[in-house]
Structure 1
């Protein structure tokens, strides 16, 4: 599973590489590793071993340092940073509109942190989160096949090596040609409200429902509200 630390390490490698105008291939050649390894680390799909991480950083003339901070203190800083970004940019970054267009008439509802984001709470979102009914599992599988989907394999900490079908044990998380997507499989779609942005409407699970049914999103919403109240102005 991609953890916060894995994502931070991947983001650090990418930022250092881009600041030196290096391609992934060039960095891989300098460090003596494959380009695929660099790509998986930067995406947060792979947990890098310390020798590999040190090799990548050393190839760019830097080294890793370690520090500690109060548990989850990073969340307040991240939420404040995300609050300063435009919603349009974040929707574009998630490939949300393209994904929804490509899903066609497959019934779904936007849920989780993605739904909170569209309702004005700038929470961190790694990939669009959709509620999908179990009765539509076969349709989802066919869509994933057509979209060259790969299932997240927690055992290997990378995409691939698992059957696409939601019934197969494993996280409901796939990488497709239209970006990553995460599903919450359910018997019936949750009640939704309509929100509009940039001339487009989205069917989203209301915040009040998210706070009851999605513990992780509820925690982030509470931290965002507390932090927002503390901000000047």
Structure 2
């Protein structure tokens, strides 16, 4: 694994452990004698922590780093294999998809990204509901986010909150809400969709072929899944 990939992975690990213990970055900094700015840069992947600093951060949260090696991207291949072995209905329920969609009726939107791939049967990792929203509806989207106690991802600090909710404001289009995380692609017009049905419910989703062409993140995962299928002779 190259250092360019290891640094954000280490940062994500520190952030995840901090969130589990309900610590702020300032509180973690005070526990370890590291500045809050340094904690923020480490968590966002902008700074490679020294082994000493990393051990201090983790020890303050009663955990320690375990070191191992694996083939490149083996963790991702293993995750895809694990998802492929699970029922699709179980994966949909785990995401809490219906709960969020039932409350997104205030403005038009369609399902895209990894969520659309999931609903079409692809065993790709999904950690947020991904939707496409028109810029024309951005004000209604913002009002919905306010009602849903939304907090926008703050890339500078590596956590949710501290930046304006509005999608027109500069920053990543990722929000934490009371219904789970939402990732939005803002567009002039909604993309063409197809309908897929699960458990008697219809979902409007961007087709897989279109995702591969227009969504780099989902496209990479879909191509990786297809390559695994070809390699196994399926």
Q: TM-score category by the smaller chain?
A: 0.7 to 0.9
- Contact 1:57 / 1:64 at 8 angstroms: preserved in 2? no
Give the CA deviation at 1:55: 3.4
Task: Give, in angstroms, the shift of residue 196 of structure 1.
Answer: 0.4
Q: Distance in 1 between matches of 2:191 and 2:89?
A: 25
The separation in 2 between residues aligned to 1:80 and 1:99, in whole angstroms, is: 27
**Distance verdict in 2 for CA 1:75–1:171, change over 3 Å:** same
Please give the residue correspondences for 1:42-61 in structure 2 after superposition, counting only pairs within 5 Å.
50=54, 51-58=56-63
> Structure 1 CA distance, aligned partners of 2:155 and 2:65?
26
| Contact in 1 for aligned 2:211/2:219 (Cα 8 Å) | yes
Q: What is the Cα deviation at residue 188 of structure 1?
A: 0.3
How do residues 1-233 of structure 1 correspond to structure 2 at under 5 angstroms?
3-7=8-12, 24=21, 50=54, 51-58=56-63, 63-231=64-232
Q: Which runs of 5+ in 1 are unaligned?
A: 15-22, 26-31, 34-44
More displaced stretch, 104-113 vs 141-150: 104-113
Question: Is 2:44–2:156's contact at 8 Å kept on the other side of the alignment?
Answer: no
Looking at structure 2, the residues matched to 52 and 5 of structure 1 have their Cα atoms a distance apart, in angstroms, of 11
Deviations 1:158-212 (A, max 9, x none): 1101111000000001111111101000000000000001111100000110111
The alpha-carbon distance between structure 1 residues 57 and 75, as it changes in their structure 2 partners (threshold 3 A), is same
Q: Tell me the TM-score normalised to structure 2 length.
A: 0.77
TM-score for the superposition, normalised by structure 1: 0.77
Task: Note if contact 2:153-2:172 (Cα within 8 Å) is conserved in structure 1.
Answer: yes
Stretches of structure 2 lacking an aligned partner (at least 5 in a row): 1-6, 23-29, 32-42
Going from structure 1 to structure 2, the CA distance change for 1:3 and 1:198 (only over 3 Å counts) comes to farther
Indicate the RMSD between aligned Cα atoms, in angstroms.
2.7
Deviates more, 1:88-97 or 1:144-153: 88-97
CA distance in structure 2 between the partners assigned to 1:147 and 1:216 by the alignment: 26
Q: How many residues matched?
A: 202
CA contact (8 A) 2:8 2:44 kept: no
Aligned-partner SS, 1:56: coil
Structure 2 CA distance for partners of 1:105 and 1:145, relative to 1, 3 Å: closer
